[in-house]
Chains A and B, each alone.
Chain A
């Protein structure tokens, strides 16, 4: 699989990369269409966005300039993975959980207010030609990151199974969205005791035996990473993972968002904002 931007950019002639006819990264003010709490923990932010920023790839993100609201004054922008992009209706969706100063400020945004967004940024997921059966395994807000991938896979007529994990059934979000898109959804929760690694492994093994799996996709959990790495190695199934890291610039300049990866027998560093946030599953390291 190909997702290193160093390689990707090497194929692009310098002229079009360094002096593009249109700049691929946009810094624009979008208008808040709605920003609502959809259950105890999660908010859905819907922005009215110009078409030029909606030419996105699943797995990419935007860098949001959170407002100084609610007593907070976040300095850096906040990277936020895309929950949905809809060029036809001119909408950009983010699903987020309030965890700190930035997201607390975001939660204060009201309909009609502006929000500056920079993007789309980063290198997204890849689906290789010929793949038929994809498996998404994610937990909590990580499911949001994988939703655009499900949308693309299902639009391309591929089969997609989504194992959605959460603390309790009430916490499961994105599930309706996965169903709407036509994914085969399997719910597992901690409260029902179905989200344990052994149970997940049984389910995935069954899926492999039944219809076969061409690729794994996941996001944000060490436990799932380890499980999928093991199963991927055993069965020769490739995979990708979206990783997070604190960011400053978001476009590759500051070198703050690096993560360690295993490649060619060595440990290397790559930027989550540029070569990532999507990396090869087997190269990813626990954190």
Chain B
């Protein structure tokens, strides 16, 4: 029997497959047994109620998608009262994704969701920081450090920082998150993108621009996951364009200790349970005893730091 359990700091997962925030809810329980998953990750919740962006909120591009859902949220109190208890019935660890516009608000919501039943908090720092210049916290090391430090002070739960690809400073941001007290990195969120209908000349998203996700994002997020795994000592969770078992294996080789699957669930809602079985079969066929022997096994011994951490295509 191949061992596919992984440990992300103090959080133990029976397998390394979990959903990406925003692409999962208890509604998926109508399709398969959610106890099969390595963890459950809820949609980002904000301190106050938010209505979300105008429609159309998604559009398809070749083999991938853009979204500008805009984090509709019923607010933190509703979340703690109504949503967290829903997950009591399930065995996988519950990871709660939070976001806010200021460090203070971030700290308040972090404190509020630090309740029994929550195994870790995923910090969605890919959203704009309205106290500074509207740039996402995770675009710069300085703002990443400040927000993570602020959160570290208010909770004892593991903090997973979810990074953005909309930065040229991935390794530095990763180190800043680690210094700020992050227990793991989720790499990464969606990439700012655009699509225009050539007949109407209107942007295809109601919010003009949105985040790219799906197979087109994979090489970018994989590169970031690799760089982050090299830059920090905390676990990295790969996220971006995973749809097949080869994608999962690629992220694990690059150094990710677990992965999140998002967009693929929209077209194939059974994809996560299938990936768990296929990963087990792949490891068995390749004669691995444990998934942990695969993690970070990329053959790059000769590469210099300047190559590993490059921030522009050579």
Contacts and interface: CB of A to CB of B under 8 A. Distances in A.
Contacts of B89: 14-15, 18-19
8 contacts: A17-B29, A19-B35, A27-B268, A75-B60, A75-B214, A249-B23, A251-B269, A256-B57
Interface residues of A, number: 33
Contacts of A65: 267-268
A104 interface: no
B72 A269 contact: yes
Interface string B78-94: 00000000100110000
Contacts of B52: 255, 258, 269
A258 B33 contact: no
B241 to A, nearest CB: 12
Given A14-B89, A19-B89, A269-B72, A251 B27 contact: yes
A257 B79 CA distance: 21
A252 to B, nearest CB: 4
Contacts of A23: 30-32
B134 to A, nearest CB: 23
Interface of B: 22-35, 43, 51-52, 55-65, 67, 69, 72, 86, 89-90, 214, 265-270
A258 B55 contact: yes
A248 interface: yes
Interface in A1-46: 14-15, 17-20, 23-25, 27
A269 B59 CA distance: 20
A118 interface: yes
B27 A274 contact: yes
B55 A254 contact: no
A51 interface: no
A95 to B, nearest CB: 24
Contacts of B43: 253, 255
Q: Which 5 A-B pairs have the closest CB atoms?
A: A252-B27, A75-B60, A256-B57, A25-B30, A256-B58
Nearest to B72: A255
Contacts of B69: 254-256
Interface of A: 14-15, 17-20, 23-25, 27, 65, 73-77, 118, 245-246, 248-259, 269, 274
A253 B63 CA distance: 20
B25 A248 contact: no
A75 B267 contact: yes
B25 A253 contact: yes
Contacts of A118: 269
Contact of B30 (A20, A76, A246): A20
Contact of B86 (A14, A20, A75, A249): A14
Nearest to B69: A255
B55 A251 contact: no
A24 B29 CA distance: 9
Contacts of B55: 245-246, 256-259
Contacts of B22: 254
Contacts of A18: 26, 29, 34, 86, 89-90
Nearest to A5: B27
Contact of B265 (A19, A76, A253, A256): A253
Query: Which of B24, B64, B67, B269 has the most chain A CB within a 10 Å cutoff?
Result: B269
Nearest to A116: B268
Given A18-B26, A19-B89, A274-B27, 19 more contacts: A23-B30, A23-B32, A24-B30, A25-B30, A75-B63, A75-B64, A75-B214, A76-B267, A246-B59, A248-B58, A249-B265, A251-B27, A252-B25, A253-B25, A254-B58, A254-B266, A255-B72, A256-B55, A258-B55
